[in-house]
Amino acid sequence: MLNAPLLIKDRSMSDEKRIYKPRPVTGFPEWLPEERLVEQKWFDSIRRVFESYGYCSIETPSVEELEVISAKGEVDKEIYVIERLHADENSKKEARLALHFDQTVPLARYVAQHFNDLVFPFKRYQIQRVWRGERPQMGRMREFYQCDIDVINVDNLPISFDAEVAAVCYEAIESLNIGRVQLRISNRKILIGLLDELDVSEKIQILRILDKIEKIGSEETEKLLNETEAAQWSKDLIKLAGIKAKSSKELLDKINDLSIGNLFLNNPTGLEELASILNQLSHLPEDAVIADLSIVRGLDYYTGTVYETQLLDVPQFTGSVCSGGRYDDLASGYINKHLPGVGISIGFSRLFDVMRQTHADKLGIGPKSPADIMMILPSEEERYYAAATARRLRERGYKVELYHAARKIPDQIKYASKKGIPYVWLPFSDGHQVKNMNTGDQTPANPEDWTK
Amino acid sequence: MLNAPLLIKDRSMSDEKRIYKPRPVTGFPEWLPEERLVEQKWFDSIRRVFESYGYCSIETPSVEELEVISAKGEVDKEIYVIERLHADENSKKEARLALHFDQTVPLARYVAQHFNDLVFPFKRYQIQRVWRGERPQMGRMREFYQCDIDVINVDNLPISFDAEVAAVCYEAIESLNIGRVQLRISNRKILIGLLDELDVSEKIQILRILDKIEKIGSEETEKLLNETEAAQWSKDLIKLAGIKAKSSKELLDKINDLSIGNLFLNNPTGLEELASILNQLSHLPEDAVIADLSIVRGLDYYTGTVYETQLLDVPQFTGSVCSGGRYDDLASGYINKHLPGVGISIGFSRLFDVMRQTHADKLGIGPKSPADIMMILPSEEERYYAAATARRLRERGYKVELYHAARKIPDQIKYASKKGIPYVWLPFSDGHQVKNMNTGDQTPANPEDWTK
């Protein structure tokens, strides 16, 4: 058509023709349009569940001051700092900025900074990218999405929120339709309370050993425990960590069966909390939630409930797809208030990446366009009519792509097929027709009869 | 309730109590939940319009190799590079990575890299953050969202796409309901073709002078033109750049009225393209689109159509809210193919920020929660029933927050009011009631009658 030869002859680039062939940047994934369409569906679905419980969205900047990120003493994380390529003397005076490596530190900073503008309990969700400068190994990502929900309150936070975030997280993952989901819940106060009763002071060390029980097995765990203060109770601790229960009754029965069961009488809080959570989640399907006392979580800041989540039908996904817990006082590094919280984080991008690679069909990866309908352009003279028909269908809620050139109709249909658009509309002036690309049927149609 | 005193006594942080009071990071904006709710509505709305024309979403990593970003010779931009805080010898061997400063360079790289997996014409939209290490002045942002659409094709790209991206962009901004939107369109080939006819070689220099005509005025522009090769035509060029027209007829009439009008006979492409676009957009409201020959755009890579967009009812917003144009060959730095494109970018965050500050009410900034309904918790004993009622309403499409403690009902209602939740549900076992928080009316209700 009107594509005239370029008139600008004096552009600096065109003569040179230096070609830099781009390559993927290790650890920074990107998806093709057909994958991205499914990724968007997932985000929409997770967001719908989060909001259905009244969680509000926030986003924080990609960066925090390095001082903020290191206020919790977490500088050993693989932090990325950013710097202007052409830094001058002025910019050197500015605060150093680092890309956030999680959404918990930014949340704590956000709550402290906007404390007076927030209504508590503050129920927020956050779906953003985070960055970790890990060694490029085993498909570890350096940039990935997390989907987090947390509730923060002033002074006290009811245990019902520990049940709520678990329910929300279960529903969010379940909504992705990738098979059975199992939440495994424990409470650090159970073990810590017991160690208190036993007068063992090396609590964190023992938690860390028990955290690895699934990886290294009972025997190895016992060996490690035997080198600690708790050596004489190592068998009991391993038995305790081996408890799995589907209901509060089963949990308490199994505790009572332990020889050290009576030690919990003086210090029942952890068990009571866990039992209460199981009761509040009893509406979920069988196998959806279990108490699993081997769950400890690595992060130091958890003080009560801890969660992990397994995909029972996706063996290719190892580890926990969604984890979290309760923390007593996360923002104390930034504000002089007592702000307990509980939250869960979905490791979105790794989950999506594994599913994309192993279950592309089940995920519905295929169509390369969001369009419902492709509008045929019968001839250049009929462009206005075809465009107007497309607009009428858009007003009725459809996504409609107008074909761009008055080519032969089979060629236009081939394009719709390549893009995976399910319907082709033929806007003939003597009567419209619609072709169902799945069945091949072509039938008369009227835009006014189509409502989404 | 069950909030026991913290059992972990040996956490390293709790004793120290070093408080780092966080402050906003200049140029990296963040919003309160009530603002974010509106921002989300805006994103949803823009996305809906983009997809309604069949544009598919892509996202690219936040970073590109520095080589990719500088392949176009654009290193003078204020680029941020990222570096691991604890860089070791290995990481120094890796490619240098820079945060992208726009979405056009990443698009070009994406198309080159995934060329064989894409269907052309490739119609994509992209809504992501970009970063520019500008001096912190006049509210300039260093991190902000752009909403871009572009169409890329191989070898030839019909001019109808120049009209389509304009329509999409108009509709997207119009959907935000912030008053009248005016797209101003020109075509660089008009001026460049004329300068060709006049045997003027300093084309880019003259474009740059005319680009500033609105800022510096005709007199100053004439002075600057008088110092160029085109000195003898400076008055004619200023007249040409002063042309504004609502229709193709008006445009061509005004050109014919110029003393240099006949010079376009040999080189009509730019005018033909612009007239064609105006014709294809004639369904839009009066004032929605005008040809404005003063529009040039600063970026060197535009070769035909150029766009700017004004908000006619928001004087607080200066400059163009949405700009773009046609480029002949953007990906030639990365692939040996001829890939013309046309695209428009909405400067989302600055627009949102200005509107947020000047039109908070009109935008509907207020509610701090996405919830439609707050469920009262009448007593701890009735928790299961209240939670079950909340679930029934969620299944019917409502967003329902269950109040967290069995406080006095007026206190619970006060919370709903503070969060701006429009309905409060009282799940009494002898009959449910709903309170409309706007009117204060309280009426009997049944979840089964509520459908969203």
The answer to whether B143 contacts A11, with C-beta atoms less than 8 Å apart, is no
- CB of A189 less than 8 A from some CB of B: yes
| CA distance to partner chain B, nearest, from residue A431 (Å) | 22
pLDDT of residue A440: 96
Q: What is the pLDDT of residues A142-159, one digit of tens each?
A: 999 999 999 999 999 999
Q: For B28, which residue in chain A has the nearest alpha carbon?
A: A61
The answer to whether B398 contacts A52, with C-beta atoms less than 8 Å apart, is yes
Secondary structure of chain A: what % helix, strand, coil (to 5)? 40, 20, 40
pLDDT interval class at A208 (50, 70, 90): confident
Residues from chain A contacting residue B120 (CB–CB below 8 Å): none
Q: CA torsion B273→B276→B281→B285, rounded to 10°? A: 100
- Average pLDDT, stretch A295-306? 85
Q: What is the pLDDT of residues B252-301, one digit of tens each?
A: 999 999 999 889 988 899 999 999 999 999 999 999 999 999 998 866 78
The answer to whether A131 contacts B95, with C-beta atoms less than 8 Å apart, is no
Closest Cβ–Cβ partner in B63, B119, B371 for A25:
B63
Q: For B372, which residue in chain A has the nearest alpha carbon?
A: A54
Q: Tokens 């994406």 appear where? A: B110
3-state SS class at B350: helix
- CB of A22 less than 8 A from some CB of B: yes
| CA distance to partner chain B, nearest, from residue A122 (Å) | 10
Of the candidates A23, A5, A22, A4, the one whose C-alpha atom is nearest the C-alpha of residue A14 is A5
The answer to whether A300 contacts B11, with C-beta atoms less than 8 Å apart, is yes
pLDDT interval class at A76 (50, 70, 90): low
User: Does ipTM surpass 0.90 in this model?
Assistant: yes
- pLDDT(A443) > 50: yes
- pLDDT(A363) > 50: yes
Report DSSP letters for B121-181, one per residue: SEEEEEEEEEE----S-TT--SEEEEEEEEEE-SS---THHHHHHHHHHHHHHHTT--S-E
pLDDT interval class at A74 (50, 70, 90): low
pLDDT of residue B447: 94
Closest Cβ–Cβ partner in A28, A78, A204 for B61:
A28
- Average pLDDT, stretch A41-54? 98
- CB of B391 less than 8 A from some CB of A: yes
Q: How far apart are CA A127 and CA A190, in angstroms?
A: 32
pLDDT of residue B3: 32
pLDDT of residue B77: 63
The answer to whether B405 contacts A158, with C-beta atoms less than 8 Å apart, is yes
Higher-confidence residue of A14 and A76: namely A76
Closest Cβ–Cβ partner in B33, B124, B192 for A8:
B192
- Substitution target in A40, A56, A132 with the highest count of B β-carbons within 10 Å is A56
User: Residue B192 in contact with residue B179, Cβ under 8 Å?
Assistant: no
Higher-confidence residue of B255 and A92: namely B255
- CB of B388 less than 8 A from some CB of A: yes
Report DSSP letters for A133-155, one per residue: ---S-TT--SEEEEEEEEEE-SS
Q: For A17, which residue in chain B has the nearest alpha carbon?
A: B333
Give, in order, the Cα–Cα distances in Å from A58 to each of A47, A128, A392, B36, B183: 12, 10, 36, 6, 32
- Average pLDDT, stretch B55-75? 85
Residues from chain B contacting residue A381 (CB–CB below 8 Å): none
- CB of A44 less than 8 A from some CB of B: no
Q: Tokens 């999506």 appear where? A: A352
Backbone angles phi, psi at B391, to 5 degrees: -65, -40
Tokens of B108: 């070009």
Closest Cβ–Cβ partner in B30, B114, B193 for A59:
B30
The answer to whether B78 contacts A66, with C-beta atoms less than 8 Å apart, is no
| CA distance to partner chain A, nearest, from residue B290 (Å) | 19
Q: What is the pLDDT of residues A379-437, one digit of tens each?
A: 999 999 999 999 999 999 999 999 999 999 999 999 999 999 999 999 998 899 999 99
Closest Cβ–Cβ partner in A20, A270, A401 for B54:
A401
The answer to whether B7 contacts A95, with C-beta atoms less than 8 Å apart, is no
Closest Cβ–Cβ partner in B135, B164, B404 for A158:
B404
- CB of A150 less than 8 A from some CB of B: no
The answer to whether B14 contacts A332, with C-beta atoms less than 8 Å apart, is yes
Q: For A270, which residue in chain B has the nearest alpha carbon?
A: B4
Residues from chain B contacting residue A156 (CB–CB below 8 Å): 1, 3
